[in-house]
Structure 1
Amino acid sequence: MSTASVETLSQDRALRRAFSVYPTGVVALGAQVDGKVAGMAVNSFTSISLEPALVAVSVARTSRTWPLLASVPELGMSVLASHHEALSRSLSAREGDRFDGHEWRETVNGAVLIEGAALWLTCTPRSVFDGGDHEIALFEIKDITLFDDVEPLIFHQSRYRSISTDVAV
């Protein structure tokens, strides 16, 4: 029998804690905006459709970076690798050069993709939906580059983790 931890939390903190139980990957969104690279990290990323190929991200309305990225014609999405924890933290920061010390490349149309990532998606905006205190943005995938040997970065219970390949028998 398991026991639950009981403590009094505000609804906001309780929801954050509850949602943290679900492990997610970390995705860097990036593009060139007015001659400067702009980017942010999200863990609210999901596949939507195979035909057409669609993905969605959910971004807080309080984000200062999202309005820049929401207006670009092409956006890079990079599933960060297990060695990208520092980059994820940098992309989540409010100040400073978020890409400092990290390698990236740019597509012809300005999408920014992170070197060493597990997956690159080059996407175009499709639709935006109301998601309460977030916006849910739907993107059409135009190009896919998969790196099979790269282990993704995992975010679980507000901590960065890796996938363990050890299996108990």
Structure 2
Amino acid sequence: MTPPDINSATFRHVLGHYATGVCVVTALEEDQTPIGMVVGSFTSVSLNPPLIAFFPDQKSTSWPRIEKAGKFCVNVLAGDQHLLCRQFATAGSEKFTGVAHRISNNGAPILDDALAWIDCSLDDVHEFGDHYMALGRVDSLGVGRSCSPLLFFQGGYGEFTLHS
């Protein structure tokens, strides 16, 4: 239960001060239809065995389809991919229109211009509040290109610049 002095607008505002990376989680349905959804809540969980997690909203229409596929790929978006992010964040079946991709050994789409990709088998799912935690066992992974990542911060998108 939420404490009475913490409303969802305040919670969102305060946590908006924490920049997050942006990923597109992809999968293929049995009929080979590609599925994709944007997530900003992605994290590594374990090195041995290699595990990752992301947190889909319970209202997501894409998540049940990805969960049913049982295998998925986390595609880390590059700083110049904010329009691609918006395309995948839009509801509907046209998410893959014009998006170059290849199919991983697990059978999930790897976006050609992604910064990095992590191909996984769904290991476990737990319900927490209004989201699920999807735990993935990493089967393969790689770096797509060398550039800055796409970040989400205070309601907008931007890039990261390294300072030395």
TM value normalised by structure 2: 0.90
Post-superposition shift, 1:50? Answer: 0.2
The answer for the alignment partner of 1:58 in structure 2 is 55
The answer for the alignment partner of 1:76 in structure 2 is 73
Greater Cα radius of gyration, structure 1 or 2 = 1
Within 1, Cα distance between the matches of 2:93 and 2:144?
29
The answer for the alignment partner of 1:26 in structure 2 is 22
SS of the residue corresponding to residue 71 of structure 1 reads helix
The answer for the alignment partner of 1:141 in structure 2 is 138
Post-superposition shift, 1:96? Answer: 4.5
Within 1, Cα distance between the matches of 2:163 and 2:51?
33
Q: 5 Å matches for 1:116-135? A: 116-135=113-132
Which amino acid counterpart does residue 81 of structure 1 have in structure 2? Answer: A
Which amino acid counterpart does residue 131 of structure 1 have in structure 2? Answer: F
Count of aligned pairs between the two proteins: 159
Post-superposition shift, 1:165? Answer: 3.1
The answer for the alignment partner of 2:89 in structure 1 is 92
**Moved runs in structure 1, 4+ residues, more than 4 A?**
none
Within 2, Cα distance between the matches of 1:159 and 1:32?
29
Post-superposition shift, 1:13? Answer: 1.4
| Structure 1 gap ranges (5+) | 1-8
Structure 1 residue 151 corresponds to structure 2 residue 148: yes
| Structure 2 gap ranges (5+) | none
Within 2, Cα distance between the matches of 1:111 and 1:94?
20
Which amino acid counterpart does residue 25 of structure 1 have in structure 2? Answer: G
Q: Which shows bigger deviation, 93-102 or 49-58?
A: 93-102
% identical equivalent positions: 30
TM value normalised by structure 1: 0.88
